[in-house]
Structure 1
Amino acid sequence: MGKQRSKNLSLRKVQHIFQKLSQLRKKYYSEVKSTPEEILSSYSKSARKCVRRAIRNGLVVETTIEKNFIDYYYSQLEEVFLKSNMKPTYSKDRVKLLIEKLLPSNKIILTWVKLQDKVVATRIDIIDGLWMNSFGSSSDKNYLSLNPNELARFHAMCIAAERGVKYYDMTGGGTYKSKFGSEKVTNYRIIYSKFGLYEARNIAKKLIKLKNKIKTKIDSFSTNK
């Protein structure tokens, strides 16, 4: 009895340590089919309707290398974060550097969606061998009813297929991603944190997030004053 109790205590201790040093990550992965028709067929019925509706609405989707892409992307990204009284978690310079490093080798796909001459949605995807990883997307809230985001993702997957990509990591959670033919996968990362630096980092991240949120509210109050 004593040995069993000791074993149970040891197991609980291991579970506690695992929970402290592990990070649960939920992601959505999908297989990238070979043709646009197959890609669209892998989507849910509602997603297929959104893509077709976007085209009927007169939206035009393109892969671009234009330098002003980053201006559209980041301004729309700021607008997306502003809805939650927050600021983007990475700088515009970081995006610019990413594009400069990966664009010459075709390892990045820059997509924008236009209504006539107005850019209403943008997205960035990164290619690594047989895999494509979603970096980010943004859009003008005034045109969401035209379904530009669904059209942009569909286009990016078609371009990826042309470049030999077989798998798509949609990066992060979000149940809506399942409508694009993806499956939810749960991953665990074991993290060794010497001197408790991992916990300190998490506290710092929360403080920075809080600081940005407060600053955004103050800026908004000053503007509306």
Structure 2
Amino acid sequence: MLRLQRVEPTPALWADRASYEDRLIFHTEPWLRFVAQAQRAEPVLATISDGSRTVGHFTGLLTKRYGLRILGSPMAGWTTSYLGFNLDPAVPRREALQALMPFAFDDLGAAHLEIRDRGLAETDLEGLGLRWAAAPTAVIDLSPSEDALFAAMASACRRNIRKADKSGVVIEEVPGDDPTFADDFYSQLRDVFAKQNLVPTYSIERVRTLIRSLGPAGSILLLRARDADGRCIATAIMPWYHRTMYFWGGASYREHQQVRPNEALIWYALRWARERGVTEFDFVGGNSYKAKYGTTDVPVPWARRSRSPLVAGLRDAAKEGFALKQRAVARLARAR
């Protein structure tokens, strides 16, 4: 029987966690530092043992809502795609999930648990008292040649990439200490949300915290697109680690979208990642517009369990309340 035990972070622990093949950037110390600061949350690291043998690790963060302890691995709104487990390949993920329940609710005293683990399937969740939603993500296999990757895109997407090039759009890599990048990105992000009569779901400080946390480790690619006149018209933020690059955020000004900077940014990132041995590009979500890049949908269910129906109701109410608040703030901004 598997058992989880909370442990303190040490260099030896981080080294062991980094030896697992299913490791993701979201399991690393810099990423957890980013989430902890942005969400005022407390990281939870646990070893998973089978008898006296360590067979994996669990990663989560504790926070409080309505005075209740919440264990997120991760929580929605944390701009963090997956957490969950790092496991020996011989260990079934369902068994690790079963062992997580008493750890979360008894050992940690959590009232609510959410988990999204890249390796969990819906069949792993059945019969464990969990509710879940299908949350597929769109990925691109970077193993084929550059020509094959380009050919796999929709013809309209290929035309847009060529149009950007002919229009004089230039993509530049931005160092992490650039003092203007976060401002450029957030200004463009506000314009993207304004198109839908909304405001961004996070502040500019979260962008700055992400860059500060990941920049020293060299695990984030910041891209800026300039038009023929040298104006910054689009930006993208791409964390990467081990075998995967992630699309954390991208934004552009509506008035310049006719020169197609967004497609040019993605195409640059795909080639950049592939040249460095990265084998997968994860769009972090399955919106239909991503299919034009030749993506494949991968199911990654988002599961949750609460100590009581009341807590589950509070969680759903909080989610609905956030959406209403976002629209209200947007209306006030338009009225000024």
Unaligned runs of 5+ in 2: 1-125
Q: Check if 1:114 corresponds to 2:213.
A: no
Partner of 1:104: 216
- Which moved further from structure 2: 152-161 or 177-186? 177-186
Give the letter for the 1:182 counterpart. T
Q: Check if 1:67 corresponds to 2:179.
A: yes
If asked which structure has higher relative contact order (CA below 8 Å, sep 6+), I would say: 1
Partner of 1:53: 163
TM-score, with structure 1 as normaliser:
0.84
The alpha-carbon distance between structure 1 residues 175 and 212, as it changes in their structure 2 partners (threshold 3 A), is closer
Aligned length: 208
Partner of 1:89: 201
Partner of 2:305: 192
The alpha-carbon distance between structure 1 residues 37 and 91, as it changes in their structure 2 partners (threshold 3 A), is same
Separation in structure 1 between the aligned mates of residue 327 and residue 128 of structure 2, nearest angstrom: 32
Give the letter for the 1:171 counterpart. V
Deviations 1:183-216 (A, max 9, x none): 1233323322222434422321221221221122
The Cα of 1:33 is off from its aligned counterpart by 4.0
Q: Check if 1:27 corresponds to 2:137.
A: yes
- Does the 8 A contact of 1:125 with 1:133 survive in 2? yes
Structure (1 or 2) with the greater helix fraction: 1
- Does the 8 A contact of 2:129 with 2:305 survive in 1? no
Partner of 1:168: 281
The alpha-carbon distance between structure 1 residues 98 and 132, as it changes in their structure 2 partners (threshold 3 A), is same
Give the letter for the 1:220 counterpart. R
Give the letter for the 2:319 counterpart. K
The Cα of 1:26 is off from its aligned counterpart by 2.1
SS at match of 2:286: coil
Partner of 2:20: none
The Cα of 1:42 is off from its aligned counterpart by 2.8
- Does the 8 A contact of 1:62 with 1:111 survive in 2? yes
- Does the 8 A contact of 2:136 with 2:299 survive in 1? yes
Q: Check if 1:39 corresponds to 2:157.
A: no
The Cα of 1:38 is off from its aligned counterpart by 3.9
- Which moved further from structure 2: 203-212 or 190-199? 190-199
Separation in structure 2 between the aligned mates of residue 80 and residue 17 of structure 1, nearest angstrom: 41
Give the letter for the 2:243 counterpart. L
Deviations 1:5-63 (A, max 9, x none): xxxxxxxxxxx988971121021111124654343233222211111110001110111
Deviations 1:46-103 (A, max 9, x none): 2111111100011101111122111110011011111222111111111101111111
Deviations 1:134-168 (A, max 9, x none): 10110010011111100001111111112221001
The alpha-carbon distance between structure 1 residues 84 and 160, as it changes in their structure 2 partners (threshold 3 A), is same
Separation in structure 1 between the aligned mates of residue 148 and residue 223 of structure 2, nearest angstrom: 20
The alpha-carbon distance between structure 1 residues 154 and 33, as it changes in their structure 2 partners (threshold 3 A), is farther
Structure 1 vs Structure 2: percent identity of aligned residues?
28
Separation in structure 2 between the aligned mates of residue 26 and residue 19 of structure 1, nearest angstrom: 21
Q: 1:142 aligns with which of 234, 244, 255?
A: 255
Give the letter for the 1:80 counterpart. V
Q: CA RMSD in A?
A: 2.2
- Does the 8 A contact of 1:34 with 1:161 survive in 2? no
Separation in structure 2 between the aligned mates of residue 18 and residue 47 of structure 1, nearest angstrom: 43
Deviations 1:96-123 (A, max 9, x none): 0111111122211111100122001111
- Does the 8 A contact of 1:130 with 1:165 survive in 2? yes
Separation in structure 2 between the aligned mates of residue 63 and residue 70 of structure 1, nearest angstrom: 14
